[in-house]
Structure 1
Amino acid sequence: MNAASHHHSWVSAPVRLVTLLLLAVGYLLAEPAVLLALSAAIASLFALECGGRAVLNWLAALRQLKWLFIALAVLYLGFTPGEPLIAGWDRPSWQGLSEGAHRALVLAMLLLAVHWLVRPLPADDLAGGVVWLATPLSRLGVRTERFAVRLALTLQQVAELQARVTALREQASRGWIEAAGGLVQEIESASPPVERRWIELVTPRAHEWLLPALLGAILLALVWF
């Protein structure tokens, strides 16, 4: 596959996807103290690379998950036995508070990892990264190139729909019914995308694998020690 353009980044899409998977595993395996240290390091890297605007977008995404965080609080504070947090009350317990905070931090940091590693990627780059990682499947007869095109088109359509929904919220002052009707008309009148496009498969440079290699070493340390 060839491409007319390529999104330049200090880490290519395949390495970013592998790093995201390793971070997800690391967050789940890490003890609270290690998780806090890892979270601080990743949050610092995220802020330095992506800037304050990206941090605000992440915080906005966290607010959209408020009901999930409330559900975690009810589950762990209301149903986890242990040492009472308040004298004379069986619930909440210190153990419930600790476990609930741990799960909430994992969820928040997974969302941050997605915003750091995946969200900045254009649809074509992300699709190309997925297909590069799935290249061995092509030897089994899987048509990875066609999958890449369809994935890129789907991601592009999702991004466009999100932009329309954002515009809908901004136009809410004129009335939700009228704005929603306009959005439906735009979606219905949109022409289907054409699949004749090129997706670039970029082979990661050797030094890019240092980040996932470091995370892999941390994972091994968490498992064996």
Structure 2
Amino acid sequence: MEKYVIRGGKPLVGDVNIGGAKNAAVAILPATILAGGKCLIENLPCISDVMASLQILSELGANIRMVSRSTYEIDTTHIDSTEVSNELSRQMRASYYFLGALLGRFGSGQVAMPGGCNLGPRPIDQHLKAFTALGAQDSVEYGQIHVRAEHLSGGHVFFDTVSVGATMNAMLAAVLAEGTTVLENVAREPHIVDLANFLNMMGADVHGAGTDVIKI
């Protein structure tokens, strides 16, 4: 299709059900790992990235219960793996959020280099910069990103470029780190605020989401 032709001037009637935001959902689902318990997530969009995230959680050891088409109960108490399968992690770019969540809870995580839609290069150097500031080490082996830390401590990160993904991943890794983390030059999109609200509901202490400085 080369173009849309829209002829206006007619009254509009009807109802539209607005689904949950994908960009918030794909970060909030990995964030359930940090709870180490049950979370009820509502208004999830029924899209492939969400289904892949739920499958990743299940393969890691989480118990997933479908309450309705858009509501899932996720119990991450008994997660027993920190390695996301190569096949699933290459299905979507947002699989890298599992790095921050797994690193935060277990001190280790492994995910394949991001896959998903072809929207051009999206380097993860800023993600790794944040993890390093918290005390983690990283390596890339055979297309797999490994991050590990014996102990995570709060740190200061000034992102070289504004990145939604790096901001969210840093938040996920920092909430269980000892001390205070300050993130500067962060993204300010609404889904950053959604993730911060969810983390705070689980007991985190995140301030400044929606501005260019976030304190955790």
TM-score, normalised on structure 1?
A: 0.29
Structure having the higher Rg: 1
TM-score, normalised on structure 2?
A: 0.30
Instruction: Flag the structure with higher strand content.
Output: 2
Determine which structure has greater relative contact order: mean sequence separation of CA pairs < 8 Å that are 6+ residues apart, divided by chain length: 1
